[in-house]
Amino acid sequence: MEETKFIINGNEYLPLRDVVFNTLRDAILTGKLIPGERLMENQLADKLGVSRTPVREALRMLALENLVELVPRKGAQVLDMSEKDIINILEVRDALESLATSIACKKMSKEMLQQLKLVEAEFEQAIEVNDLERIIQLDEDFHDLILESTENDKLSHIYQNLRIQLYRYRMAHLKVDSSIPAIIAHHRGILRAIENHDAEEGATVAHGHIKYHTEFILRSIHNK
């Protein structure tokens, strides 16, 4: 052994465009960059300590995630969503969540169902101790598991994208205590449907879940 290179991990390299992309996306989703705000390439490049090239590419990625609006020769700005947009997204999400749940009812493995039950238990536990961060995370995990069980990458990808777009309105949902019991009921209903391999029932419950979610988000927007 003459010389060994210190390769910690096979793949810890990330192109700058992805770093910039992640940074900007995070800033948008957490509200550090507000809707309508202009995003200038030079300015961002300076602030992030990179050149314009990766910034440009990151902006284009964000545009295709529907987080940024790009007008040729004018520039980019953080996309502002109208109520109509939100309704539209939820309409699609409804159909996809129903689809995912009904597929899950058909082909989720026993092991995965076990895991799902575990997540649900932790979810309800997190509610007991009022750990908001954890509640949100586990709710996401719950839906992720269902998506994963569909073994449909396209479906997962589209769904995730819709979720990202609604991310900014996510807090408003679970923050309100009164919505919690309904959500638990929905989750349990979905679990039951999966356990019984009842695809129709699963789709119905999922539909109700999103409908409930929709009304909540809309209400929270109106109260702003």
* Site residues (CB under 8 A) for a second copy, limited to 202-221: none
- Minimum gap (Å) between residue 112 Cβ and DNA: 35
Q: Pick the stretch among 39-47, 102-110, 116-124, 185-193 that binds DNA (CB under 7 A).
A: 39-47
The site string for a second copy over 41-60 (x = CB under 8 A, - otherwise) reads ---------------xx--x
* Site residues (CB under 8 A) for a second copy, limited to 156-175: 158, 162
The reply on whether position 15 binds DNA by CB under 7 A is yes
Total residues contacting DNA (rule CB under 7 A)? Answer: 20
The reply on whether position 22 binds a second copy by CB under 8 A is no
Contacts with 17 (C-beta within 8 Å, 6 or more apart), sequence order: 53, 54, 57, 58, 61
Judged by CB under 8 A, which of 44, 67, 98, 187 binds a second copy? 98
- Minimum gap (Å) between residue 25 Cβ and DNA: 16
For DNA, give the closer residue by CB, 60 or 117.
60
* Site residues (CB under 7 A) for DNA, limited to 47-106: 50-54, 56, 72-76
Positions in the binding site for a second copy (CB under 8 A): 13, 15, 56-57, 60-61, 64, 72-73, 85, 88-89, 91-92, 94-96, 98-99, 103, 152-155, 158, 162
